């Protein structure tokens, strides 16, 4: 049997098509003979001119079958749509056959034979295709040997017996990488029924299904469910020893970002207990539509997402300003492709420019030449431990970069300037948080001046999946078998999806009147330890600890990193007011007079020039309300200098000690 499989599957497509045509010729004759026999009620032997009909039938059928592509389909992948093509092909050939029977010399043919011929031919052609499909699939499995066995050992349960679940099951059966064994669905009217040979069960039967079939994977096929509902289902699945994965969301499929049958790990956004709010289109378009928009840090996590959303709002031009060459190239390439898919009337220019926000001459030239109207300032050093180790560069970029671009915006009469801030700017314990709060103070101070530029700040917490965030780190650690590292079991963080954060930034920027600090509603804070545990459980693995020594993944605690807080805050004071958007709040906070601010900036600039780290920190502590450094100065170069200095002092002491020892020896001899 294996030899036959190998011989047949090694044939070229033309040879296989020739074999199929020969079979169809034979089947068309058998169908006609069966039609005569059924009509006459006996095994019929053709007589006279009837033999000619047995030649005409395949001559009519085969060209029609070829024309409709019946021999171009890959047999082992044929599905329900092929039935419609077969129906069309058989019906057309039967109609042609009927015309010949009725309007030519074949008077001895009963009138019902063409109808019976159509029915039997439909049954034989359709049945033969699905028998061949079964045989081919089985042949591939037999030839696949151990590989096929390994693939089929991955038995999966599909949660959701709707259209998405049924399509997923069909795709998996064809691909043979997973073997669906059952459906689970909450709809009681569907339970105990069968789809594609798979029975539909309730959630209560999950333990039984896992034990009976040895299923190690569960696939969520509910792409249209709300985030709250998905979160609820995921929580129910956590205790079970299955690896939970999901099919993409309908929006991602529709936008061509991902294929339907491309399985993903559970989106951490589904672990958030709230759904995003529909945006206000008026606010979205206010600062972007038909305007020249510039995004600094356009290659970063938030900057790139801002650009993706901006191109859907039809700006006159979009200027990408980025220091990192590869990041700029990547986002430019992505956006150009997205714009090329728009209609001709909706296309606009995307300009990619390299440069640093500290370079005021460069920024001034850009704003002046391109007539920039709106700036989203997302360029910043944000990684807390790295900034703590390189504080001088963070001050230059986060503080003086913001000052440089803000003053240039005023000079060139830019209409709107939106700063992307952070919750770490509230009562900061790190240099990064202090520099971002100082940047806010600069914009608040400049807003008191007489000019036409509206400065707005938008403050929010962590975004899911951003560069350097815990989510990609946890995934990587789980994939390699652990341990999963958590800084402290008590640490809490606010989280928001990247698209929602960017969308709210755009809307908040449109509501600003000048000097506004907007705070985004981040929902409830999430304990990082709980997040790590959920990700381990949803990977189908067990946590290894004292109570479960046979678990697969261990969680280790590394301690808070320099500058890191246990709890992040979004407000400095309690003075807060609502806005037109339910997820955006306006904070009323202390503003430093412009004269005092510029005095501090002058002193800070001198400290940076002298590389006086101690003075830099003192100025930040005096200027930024609530700044209480969580650690001592942690600059890497300073540490290296201290090491070198320490080694030199040790080396200088050694000769003195030797001289002293020699003198003592001489004295003893005397």
Q: Which domains does the chain have, with CATH numbers?
A: 2-144 (no CATH), 153-271 (3.40.50.720), 281-589 (3.40.50.720)
Residue-wise pLDDT for 81-100, tens only, equals: 566 777 777 888 888 877 77
CA distance 97 to 257: 48
Contacts of 53 (CB under 8 A, 6+ apart): 32, 46, 100, 101, 106, 109
Angle between helix 13-40 and helix 50-67 axes, rounded to 10 deg = 140
Report whether pLDDT(69) > 60.
yes
Which candidate, 593, 607, 217, 190, places its Cα nearest to that of 391? 607
The predicted model gives 444-458 an average pLDDT of: 91
Written as six digits, the tokens of 348 are 């606009």
Least confident segment among 264-273, 278-287, 348-357, 572-581: 264-273
The predicted model gives 190-210 an average pLDDT of: 84
Is residue 621 within 8 Å of residue 599, measured between CB atoms? Answer: no
Q: Report percent pLDDT > 70 for the chain.
A: 80
pLDDT of residue 614: 92
Q: Report percent pLDDT > 90 for the chain.
A: 25
The predicted model gives 4-8 an average pLDDT of: 58
Backbone angles phi, psi at 182, to 5 degrees: -170, 160
The predicted model gives 521-543 an average pLDDT of: 80
Residue-wise pLDDT for 130-185, tens only, equals: 676 666 655 555 544 443 444 445 788 888 888 888 878 877 766 666 788 888 88
The predicted model gives 380-389 an average pLDDT of: 90
Report whether pLDDT(261) > 70.
no
pLDDT of residue 432: 93
* Helices and strands per DSSP (H, E), number in the chain: 23, 23
pLDDT of residue 135: 63
Contacts of 133 (CB under 8 A, 6+ apart): 75, 76, 77, 78
pLDDT of residue 146: 40
Residue-wise pLDDT for 301-330, tens only, equals: 899 999 999 998 999 999 999 999 999 999
Q: Is 194 helix (H, G, I), strand (E, B) or coil?
A: strand
Query: If you count them, how many residues does the chain have?
Result: 670
CA distance 618 to 623: 9
Backbone angles phi, psi at 410, to 5 degrees: -65, -45
pLDDT of residue 408: 96
Backbone angles phi, psi at 419, to 5 degrees: -95, 130
Which of the two residues, 526 and 656, has the higher pLDDT score?
526
Strand locations in 359-440 (E) = 374-377, 416-422
Residue-wise pLDDT for 460-495, tens only, equals: 877 776 666 777 788 888 888 888 898 888 888 877
Report whether pLDDT(372) > 80.
yes
């Amino acid at each position: 049997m294996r030899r036959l499989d190998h011989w047949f599957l090694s044939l070229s497509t033309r040879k296989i098509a020739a074999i199929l045509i020969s079979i169809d010729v034979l089947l068309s004759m058998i169908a006609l003979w069966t039609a005569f026999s059924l009509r006459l009620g006996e095994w019929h032997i053709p007589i006279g001119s009837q033999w000619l009909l047995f030649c005409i039938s395949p001559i009519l059928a085969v060209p029609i079958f070829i024309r409709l592509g019946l021999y171009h389909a890959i047999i082992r992948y044929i599905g329900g749509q092929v039935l419609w093509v077969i129906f069309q092909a058989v019906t057309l050939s039967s109609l042609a056959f009927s015309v010949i029977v009725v309007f030519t010399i074949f008077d001895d043919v009963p009138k019902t034979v063409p109808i019976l011929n159509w029915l039997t031919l439909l049954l034989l052609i359709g049945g033969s295709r699905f028998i061949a499909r079964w045989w081919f699939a089985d042949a591939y499995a037999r030839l696949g040997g151990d590989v096929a066995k390994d693939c089929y050992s991955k038995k999966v349960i599909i949660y959701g017996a709707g259209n998405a679940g049924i399509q997923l099951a069909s795709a998996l059966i064809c691909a043979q990488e997973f073997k669906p064994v059952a459906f689970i669905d909450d709809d009681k009217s569907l339970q105990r029924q069968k789809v594609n040979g798979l029975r539909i069960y309730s959630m209560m039967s999950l333990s039984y299904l896992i034990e009976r079939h040895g299923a190690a994977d569960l696939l969520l096929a509910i792409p249209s469910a709300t985030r709250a509902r998905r979160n609820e289902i995921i929580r129910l699945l956590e205790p079970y020893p299955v690896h939970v994965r999901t099919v993409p969301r309908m929006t991602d499929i529709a936008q061509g970002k991902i294929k339907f049958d491309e399985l993903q790990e559970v989106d951490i956004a589904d672990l958030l207990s709230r759904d995003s709010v529909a945006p206000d289109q008026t606010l979205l378009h206010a600062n972007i539509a038909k305007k020249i928009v510039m995004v600094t840090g356009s290659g970063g996590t938030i900057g790139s997402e801002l650009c993706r959303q901006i191109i859907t709002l039809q700006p006159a031009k979009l200027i990408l300003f980025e220091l990192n060459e590869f990041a700029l190239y990547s986002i430019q390439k992505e956006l150009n492709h997205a714009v090329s898919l728009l209609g001709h009337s909706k296309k606009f220019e995307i300009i990619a420019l390299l440069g640093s926000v500290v370079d005021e001459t460069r920024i001034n030239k850009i704003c002046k030449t391109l007539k920039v109207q709106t700036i989203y300032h997302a360029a910043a050093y944000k990684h807390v431990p790295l900034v703590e180790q390189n504080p001088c560069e963070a001050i230059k970029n986060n503080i003086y970069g913001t000052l440089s671009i803000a003053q240039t915006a005023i000079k060139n009469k830019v209409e709107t300037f939106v700063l992307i801030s952070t919750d770490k700017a509230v009562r900061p314990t790190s240099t990064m948080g202090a520099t971002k709060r100082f940047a806010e103070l600069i914009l608040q101070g400049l807003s008191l001046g007489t000019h036409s530029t509206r400065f707005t700040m938008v403050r929010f917490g962590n975004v899911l999946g951003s560069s350097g965030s815990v989510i990609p780190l946890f995934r990587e650690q789980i994939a390699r078998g652990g341990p999963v590292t958590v800084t402290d079991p008590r640490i809490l963080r606010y989280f928001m999806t990247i698209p929602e954060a960017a969308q709210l930034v755009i809307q908040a920027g449109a509501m600003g009147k000048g000097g506004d600090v907007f705070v985004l509603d981040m929902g409830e804070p999430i304990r990082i330890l709980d997040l790590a545990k959920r990700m381990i459980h949803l990977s189908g693995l067990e946590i290894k600890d004292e109570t479960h020594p046979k678990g697969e993944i261990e969680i280790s605690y590394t301690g808070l990193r320099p500058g890191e807080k246990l709890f992040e805050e979004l407000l400095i004071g309690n003075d807060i007011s609502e806005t037109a958007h339910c997820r955006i709040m306006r904070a009323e906070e202390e503003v430093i007079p412009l004269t005092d601010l510029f005095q501090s900036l002058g002193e800070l600039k001198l400290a940076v020039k002298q590389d006086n780290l101690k003075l830099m920190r003192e100025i930040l502590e005096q200027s930024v309300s609530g700044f209480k450094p969580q650690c001592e100065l942690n600059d890497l170069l300073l540490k290296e200098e201290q090491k070198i200095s320490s080694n030199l002092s040790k080396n200088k002491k050694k000769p003195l000690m030797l001289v002293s020892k020699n003198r003592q020896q001489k004295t003893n001899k005397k």
